[in-house]
Amino acid sequence: MALLRLNCVCLCVLSVQPTVRKGVLPSMLEEILNTRLRVKHSMKTYKQDKTLMRLLDARQLGLKLIANGYAAANCSGRMPSVEVGDSIVHKARETLERAIKLVNDTKKWGAHVVYGDTDR
């Protein structure tokens, strides 16, 4: 039987080496970063379309912020600074409200937001 190399991440939490099994969060982070790279590559392809460029830039920035959140999370899942955490949640709420308004106000899309939530 192979010896599993265990890491004690924080209180009573164990993890195995990525050679044994890749974790859920690292897998998600990798997917987010790969998606961001594809979006940035698309931006090089569609430089002439200013509207599409704005959309793609917003998308890649959103993916960057999500990736930074995954990378910066500590074992408790809490921000080390309450003020920074509250600021992020507040900005997320503002962004969500703008997105809901955009979807609801753009009649040609024929869509209506029925639910939206942040971590708060």
Look at residue 120 and tell me if it is in a domain: no
Residue 75: the pLDDT is: 46
Whether the Cβ atoms of residue 7 and residue 17 lie closer than 8 Å to each other:
yes
Whether the Cβ atoms of residue 99 and residue 118 lie closer than 8 Å to each other:
no
Look at residue 69 and tell me if it is in a domain: yes
Compute CA distances 15 → 3, 21, 23, whole Å.
Answer: 14, 9, 8
pTM over 0.75: no
Nearest to 39 by CA among 14, 60, 70: 60
Q: What CATH number has the domain bearing residue 68?
A: 1.10.287
Name the pLDDT band for 108 (thresholds 50, 70, 90): very high
Shared-domain flag, residues 28 and 52: yes
pLDDT digits (tens, 9 = 90+) for 40-93: 999 999 999 999 999 999 999 999 888 887 666 544 555 555 666 667 777 778
Shared-domain flag, residues 59 and 100: no
Indicate the number of domains in the chain: 2
Shared-domain flag, residues 66 and 98: no
Q: Which domain covers residue 54, as residue numbers?
A: 24-73
Compute CA distances 58 → 2, 25, 65, 75, whole Å.
Answer: 46, 23, 11, 29
